[in-house]
Every structure is written in structure tokens, then in C-alpha cells.
Amino acid sequence: MTSPRKLHIKSYGCQMNVYDAQRMVDTLAPEGFVETASAEDADFVILNTCHIREKASEKVYSELGRLRTMKEEAARDGRQVNIAVAGCVAQAEGEEIIRRAPVVDIVVGPQSYHHLPQLLDRARRDGRALETEFPVEDKFGFLPAPKPDAIRARGISAFVTVQEGCDKFCTFCVVPYTRGAEVSRPIAKVVDDVKRLVDNGVREITLIGQNVNAYHGEGPDGKSWPLGKLLDHLAGIEGVLRLRYSTSHPLDVDDSLIESHRDNPALMPFVHLPVQSGSDRILAAMNRRHTAAEYLDVIERFRRARQDIAFSSDFIVGFPGETAQDFAATLALVTQIGYAAAYSFKYSPRPGTPAADMQETVSQAEMEERLQRLQHLIDSQQSAFNLAAIGTTVDVLFERGARKEGQIVGRTAFLQPAHVMASPDIIGKILPVHVESLERYSLLGHLATPAYAAQPAESRMTTGA
């Protein structure tokens, strides 16, 4: 028998890239590839890139420099190693990657990775392979189903892509140019994916998309279904204990989604709802198409539907034209809402976006100072949110063994890690945990009713902390 070829994928950035990396593994498995955690052992290395974060391209080229040395050493040992750059940097830069880094054999955009086997053959035949055009066909129709053992190896939580692309065109964002226009997968295809996952031990499903609550997939009745209706439908699948979704845009929060949070016990009361700024002037410059007051109104709609709901968000500091007063408005918004978690970033221009042509008015030193002030406020809110759990009993979906021997770790409805001393047979079950203390961001406690450890997970379909 031919020994299997080894595949290593390094992913940067968003949850979509994590999902895409798993699907690349599934695509290459029929070609005889098995995944390895080490690039040095691999016959095929893929950098699955993200263009959202600061200096994304530079990080990729730095990694390619390291891989060039590795590839040259492998060649001296008589071993061929192929290197691919995939994802959004690949889509944005295309041939420029091969020009700057000749070590790269394949450049493939995020909508074309289902062609990886053919691209690998082409690269071996012609020396290079490039595919960054948006294909006519839907890649999901060509991706092989993941094998049961691969699903089980990935754990009890899984991502399912239901929507890709974005039509919002925020002035700072490259996603519409790298992922294309908004498209939604049909309900039946999503259901097939979810059933396959739960049949192989997955208990928590996170629906993902660049703008996931713009979902409008075709339902079995031939009509367009919104995200809320999809979530309610998936909750009826046996084995689905928890549902989540990410990432949302405030403009696309419709009544069906609010109602699902009110009525669907499987839908977790934790929403990632990026706002980027608390200043109406900066929001307009960003083309967010909502005001701070309108964002607050969306938050209140969620809270009226479910009192225990919590939020996370994204913020950019130092956007071109941001004044001290604009930044103060952001701090005021954060203070008013009170987040369970949030992510803040210094503005950095993305080539090809409208904001890249705007004059930058905030110095790097001022950006850094504002970022630290904002992150300090966010961290204090997250700490307060976590501390409030001490002394309470929360439901935890247990995922895996922890580093400490005899300890099992899971997550609350709000994605807080929770650790208990227990038998591994609680993995995959939702059990009540009495929280005794907090260690950094993790809750420590004990099973409130140890008898539940012998009870099937499906018997406890509660959600809330």
C-alpha cells in the first residue's frame, strides 16, 4: 500500500476559515492525504489566510519565508513539498503572491478550494496553479461529506456555513471583494449537514456566515426562509442540544430572529453583534448604515425577548477622521450596553477599500492609547460578567478533558469555559455546575447533581446560565 501523504493547514482569522480548513481536509482526504499538526512533516502545506486583521499580508509573507527554507531542506532529502496560499489574502492579491514568494505552488480563493485536488495536479504538471475567479458553481455542491471518524475527532461542537459574502460594503472591509455577494445555502443542504454531524456525536452547532443574519435560503416550501426560521427548524433535529450563529449585522436583525431567541430553548442567549464605533459621524464614514441609537434599539429588542441575553461586539479605534469626541462616544456606548466580551482593533487600511483612500488623522500613538482605554473598559465588563457567575448554578455542555488530570472542561451558554472534576463520560452532556471561583476567564466548580453524569445528554435540553 502507498503510505498516506501528509497535509498541514494553518488558518488565520475568522470562524469561517476554521470551517473552510476542515472542509479542505475533507476535500483532500479522498486523494490520500491525512492531517498532521506539523508543517515540517507535511507533503502539502496550506496557509488559509484572513485579510481582516492588521498586517495580514505581511504575516503571510513572513510565514512563507520560513516555509521556503523548509521546502528547500525537504528537496535536498529527495522529498517534494507543495505550498498553497488560500483564503482572502489569496483572493485579494492573486498573482502578486507568486511574484513575491516563488516558493508558492498554488494560490486559491475562498470560493474555489473544492478544486484543490485538480490545482495540485496542475501545479505538479505546470509548476504553478492560480484560481481566484469567483466560480459559477456552488462549491458546497462539490465538497465531499466529512468522514464519520473526522467528525468525531473534531469534538462535540461544529461550525456549519449557511451564508457567504456580504452586500454591506463597509468602507474599511475587504470581505465583499474577497468573498463576493451574499448567498445563502438551501435549508435542505443545511439540514443534511447538521444531521450528519449529530449522527456522529456533535451536540452544538454554530451557523456561520460573513453576514449570517442576512440568511435567506430556500425552504422546503419553495419560499425564502430567514435565519430565525432556520434555527427553529434545526432545533427539532434529535441530538441538537445547542445552537449559535455568527457574525451578525444590526441591519439584518428581523422579528423572526428575535422571536427565536424568545421561544427556542436550544438557541443560546449570546449574540455577537459588531458595531465598530459609538459615533454617528464615524458610523456614517464607515457606511455602517445605522446610528448608535438604532444599534441600541436592536440591543433592547433582544433584551425584551430574553432578559438573560448577553452580547459581544467588535470595535475599530482610530478610523480616519475619528476625534476625541468620537472616541468618547464609543466609550459611552460600551458603558451603556455592558458587554460580556468584545474585540477591539486599531484601524489599518485595506488596499482596494474606500477607507484606504481617506486621509488618516489619528497617530499610531493616539490609536494605541485609545485602544488601551477601550480594551480596559471591555476587560472590566467581561470580568464583572464572569464574577457574577460565582455562587450560581449554570448549565455546561462538556466538551473534553482538561490539562489537569481528572478535570473536564465545557462551556456555558455564554461561551465561558467551565472546569469540574468528573468522569469523562459526561462529555457531550449538558449538566448543572455550581460555580465556586474564577481563574482568569474560566469558571471553576463542581457538578450540582452528580447523578446527571449517568443521564443521556438528550434528557437535559436546558440552556441558561
List per-residue pLDDT tens for the chain, 465 residues long. Answer: 457 899 999 988 777 888 888 889 999 999 999 999 889 989 999 999 887 665 667 788 889 998 999 999 988 888 899 999 998 888 888 888 988 899 999 999 888 888 899 999 999 888 898 987 766 556 666 677 788 888 888 899 999 999 988 999 999 998 888 888 899 999 999 999 999 999 999 999 999 999 999 999 999 999 999 999 999 999 999 999 999 999 999 999 999 999 999 999 999 999 999 999 999 999 999 999 999 999 999 999 999 999 999 999 999 999 999 999 999 999 999 999 999 999 999 999 888 899 999 999 999 999 999 999 999 999 999 999 999 999 999 999 999 988 888 899 999 999 999 999 999 999 999 999 999 999 988 999 999 976 554 444 333 333 333
> Closest by alpha carbon to 120, among 84, 86, 70?
84
Residue 138: predicted pLDDT: 64
Residue ranges in 174-265 assigned as alpha helix (H): 175-178, 187-199, 227-235, 255-263
Give the span between the Cα atoms of 14 and 320, in whole angstroms. Answer: 24
Residue 459: predicted pLDDT: 38
Region for residue 162 given its phi and psi (left: phi exceeds 0; alpha: psi -120 to 50; beta: otherwise) = alpha
Give the span between the Cα atoms of 339 and 333, in whole angstroms. Answer: 10
Quote the cell numbers at residue 365.
500613538
Q: Are strands 82-87 and 106-108 parallel, antiparallel or unpaired?
A: parallel
Give the span between the Cα atoms of 60 and 157, in whole angstroms. Answer: 28
Please, are residues 209 and 160 in contact by the beta-carbon 8 Å criterion? no
Residue 369: predicted pLDDT: 98
Residue 179: predicted pLDDT: 82
Contacts of 12 (CB under 8 A, 6+ apart): 47, 48, 49, 50, 53, 56, 59, 60, 87
DSSP strands (E only) in 50-176? 82-87, 106-108, 129-131, 157-161, 163-164
The DSSP output letter for 277 is: -
The DSSP output letter for 359 is: P
Give the span between the Cα atoms of 226 and 243, in whole angstroms. Answer: 15
Residue ranges in 343-411 assigned as alpha helix (H): 364-387
Query: pTM here?
Result: 0.83
